Amino acid sequence: MSLAMVAAEASHLKQEAWVTSRAAPEPELGLAALQRARLPEATALAESKLRFIGLHAAAKPLLAASVRARTATQRVVWLQRAASAWARPIEEVGACRGGCAHCCHVPVTISSVEADLLGRAAGRVPQPPEHAVQLATLTSEEDVAAAQTLLQAIGTGLPCPFLQGNRCSVYEHRPVACRTLVNLDDDDLLCRHADDGPPASVPYADARMFRALALAAQAGSEFADIRDFFPTKGNE
């Protein structure tokens, strides 16, 4: 069931590739329309970039260490390192840049293990989340859908509590979810938050494997949005 949850969560990120005209969008178009015009081209570009990247070589030994680790905390720490190693070559050809914090304003699901690691690094005590999900309670597709809705309920448009001056204040300790969200476009157009339409689809690198491994490594944890573990004024 956990793998189904992961697959469902990530399926919307998979876009069919097709090539369209590179004609520039009309300048008077709003952000949402500009994003719709860009998406097909960005999707094709993302797929072409991935053809030239050796994706898993650097991550493999770190993943193996995660599998061998005895405690959930150790498994998660190795998994975080593996996620960073996996993401590095993708980031080199992607749109993500220091000082860009769009993805720190969207829902960020973390585990109680990651919350403890973040709390230790930041000198904060994680709070019991109000909207937590336990994997063991998900026994049907309806349960999974409800859990996804719950986990996405807070976060959109709200800054992560660890974002300071558009920089991550816990960068070395950031969760797997943050390490694996890489936009493969050439710029941040599709990550921007449009007021005139729904959030755009973004050609993220396919990180379903890491999400599945993260769930498997800590199946007994509870999962919630990072803002739920670390509430701040305005984010509650």
Which helix (H) or strand (E) segment is 61 a member of? helix 60-68
Of the pair 45, 160, the CB lying nearest ligand SF4 is at: 160
Of the pair 62, 103, the CB lying nearest ligand SF4 is at: 103
For the CB of residue 191, give the shortest distance to ligand SF4 in the complex, in Å.
12
Of the pair 6, 176, the CB lying nearest ligand SF4 is at: 176
Whether the CB-CB separation of 87 and 182 falls below 8 Å is answered with: yes
Which helix (H) or strand (E) segment is 133 a member of? strand 133-134
Sign of CA dihedral 27, 28, 34, 38: negative
Distance CA 12, CA 28 (A): 28
Of the pair 33, 122, the CB lying nearest ligand SF4 is at: 122
For the CB of residue 112, give the shortest distance to ligand SF4 in the complex, in Å.
15
Distance CA 206, CA 216 (A): 18
What residues make contact with ligand SF4 under the rule CB under 6 A?
A: 104, 108, 160, 162-163, 168, 170, 174, 178
Q: Show Cβ contacts of residue 2 under 8 Å, excluding neighbours closer than 6 positions.
A: 135, 138, 212, 215, 216, 219
Lookup: tokens for 200 = 């755009």
Of the pair 27, 98, the CB lying nearest ligand SF4 is at: 98
Of the pair 15, 235, the CB lying nearest ligand SF4 is at: 235
Which helix (H) or strand (E) segment is 78 a member of? helix 72-93
For the CB of residue 161, give the shortest distance to ligand SF4 in the complex, in Å.
7
Distance CA 8, CA 28 (A): 36
For the CB of residue 168, give the shortest distance to ligand SF4 in the complex, in Å.
3
Of the pair 34, 202, the CB lying nearest ligand SF4 is at: 202
For the CB of residue 32, give the shortest distance to ligand SF4 in the complex, in Å.
23
Nearest to 131 by CA among 108, 159, 114: 108
For the CB of residue 175, give the shortest distance to ligand SF4 in the complex, in Å.
6
For the CB of residue 236, give the shortest distance to ligand SF4 in the complex, in Å.
16
> Using only C-alpha atoms, what is the Rg of the chain?
18
